[in-house]
A = this chain, B = another copy of it.
Amino acid sequence: MSSTDLLLAPDALPAGFRFACVTAGLKASGKPDFALAIADAPASAAALYTANRVQAAPLIVDRKHIARSGGKIRVVAVNSGNANCATGEAGIQAAEQVCAAASEAFACHDYEVFPSSTGIIGVPLPAEKLVAAMPAASAQAAGTAEAFSAFARGILTTDTRPKVASARAEIDGQTVRIVGTCKGAGMIGPQLVPHATMLGYIFTDAAIEPAVLDSYLRASVDTSFNCISIDGDMSTNDTVLILASGTSGVALPAGHPAFRIALDAVCLSLARQIVHDGEGVTHVVELQIKGAPSDADARTIAKTIAHSPLVKTAWAGMDPNWGRLMAAIGYSGVAIEPERINIWFGRHEICRNGGRSPLYDEAQAHAYLQQREFTVRIDLGLGSGTCNFFTTDLTHEYVHINADYST
């Protein structure tokens, strides 16, 4: 795929937005590192941020701007190559400088600009490079699938490919479009709060009040971005933002099923694309937990399994060593009863009543785990709590990517 290939069909793009991407010079590689999305008019905005207590400077600025503007955003300005985190007051000022330059270039208030950063933590952000790149970005901005594709590429760091999803909702005979893009391959253990260096940007042409948009976003994020993990390291910069331009003319109240389903689909697709592009991933695993005391307990068990180095290395080795799963379930903190636990790899029963299943066939289990994607189903036999969670194996390549002395 060439770097100019379209990542979505031209008619999938919601109207009311323009996109741009330039090279400001933050990345040693010389790749594009400054991506902008511009709403033609102030767009309703809702955003969720990482639950990490160490928060990058742009997140602090974003909260202030969204409060000040009453949930209306004109410009999203995303740099890759530097996280602008653990940079103190100077980091806040750097983010504000970028906003000031964007407000001038796009004729809006500085508090209508939403900055984002991703990259290395603890290194001062050279805001002057982003400021200097602003005129070129402004000249280039366009409401086309090409420009959106460039935006999707400009936000990447260790990702091997861009991530894009789109959906339509038919509402009272009219069409509402949703398109989203995100980045992330490592430091992925998001908990967006009400939680994610995962960055996600979603655009729709529906007309939705900011508070209503927020409730849609929270619901969709909870079963998508909040149900994935690569290394379990929760980032300081995770952000998911949705902007609604209203250009479709379709005004949406809270809880409209068609819109909710479409937004769920976009968020889930983007979240899964992150897992598939996880650092060093050779296996993508869907954990289907059921029979837990509560949904929260099911998620706790899924996360514990997804963060176990022994489970993840067994997956890398296609090793059906299910005892490691039992151990992780046992230390999850959930009040499980071992003798009620049943485990399947796909359709293959592995564990019955907490012990090796009489149907267990090691060769068959090993063969099943050789697929790039597989499913581990666990029934705890206790209640009605469930969770579907996507995670990865832990491979030599993950260690290689992250142990390389590259600062």
Q: Which residues of A contact B (CB under 8 A)?
A: 51-55, 83, 85-88, 90-91, 120-124, 186-187, 189, 191, 231-236, 307-311, 313-314, 316-324, 326-331, 334-336, 338-339, 351, 353-356, 362, 366, 393-396, 398-400, 402-407
CB pair B322–A403 under 8 Å, yes or no, is no
CB pair B402–A327 under 8 Å, yes or no, is no
* Smallest CB gap from A53: residue in B: B330
CB pair B402–A320 under 8 Å, yes or no, is no
CB pair B335–A53 under 8 Å, yes or no, is yes
- How far does the Cβ of A232 sit from chain B's closest Cβ, in whole Å? 7
> What are 9 A-B pairs with beta-carbon distances under 8 A?
A53-B336, A86-B338, A86-B351, A122-B351, A231-B309, A236-B326, A394-B403, A395-B399, A395-B403
Q: Compute how far the CA of A17 lies from the CA of B399 in the bound complex, rounded to whole angstroms.
A: 46
What is the copy number of this chain in the assembly? 2
Q: Which residues of B contact A85 (CB under 8 A)?
A: 323, 326
- Beyond A52-B327, A233-B328, A399-B399: 11 further Cβ-contacts under 8 Å? A53-B334, A83-B323, A85-B323, A87-B355, A120-B321, A123-B356, A187-B310, A189-B331, A234-B331, A307-B307, A394-B399
- Pick from B122, B309, B317, B322: contact of A309, CB below 8 A: B309
CB pair B407–A327 under 8 Å, yes or no, is no
If A87-B355, A307-B307, A313-B402 touch, whether A122 touches B322 (CB-CB below 8 Å) is yes
If A121-B323, A231-B309, A307-B307 touch, whether A86 touches B355 (CB-CB below 8 Å) is yes
Q: Which residues of B contact A395 (CB under 8 A)?
A: 399, 403
Q: Which residues of B contact A366 (CB under 8 A)?
A: 405
CB pair A121–B324 under 8 Å, yes or no, is yes
Q: Compute how far the CA of A328 lies from the CA of B319 in the bound complex, rounded to whole angstroms.
A: 30
Q: Which residues of B contact A123 (CB under 8 A)?
A: 356
Q: Which residues of B contact A307 (CB under 8 A)?
A: 232, 307
CB pair A327–B120 under 8 Å, yes or no, is no
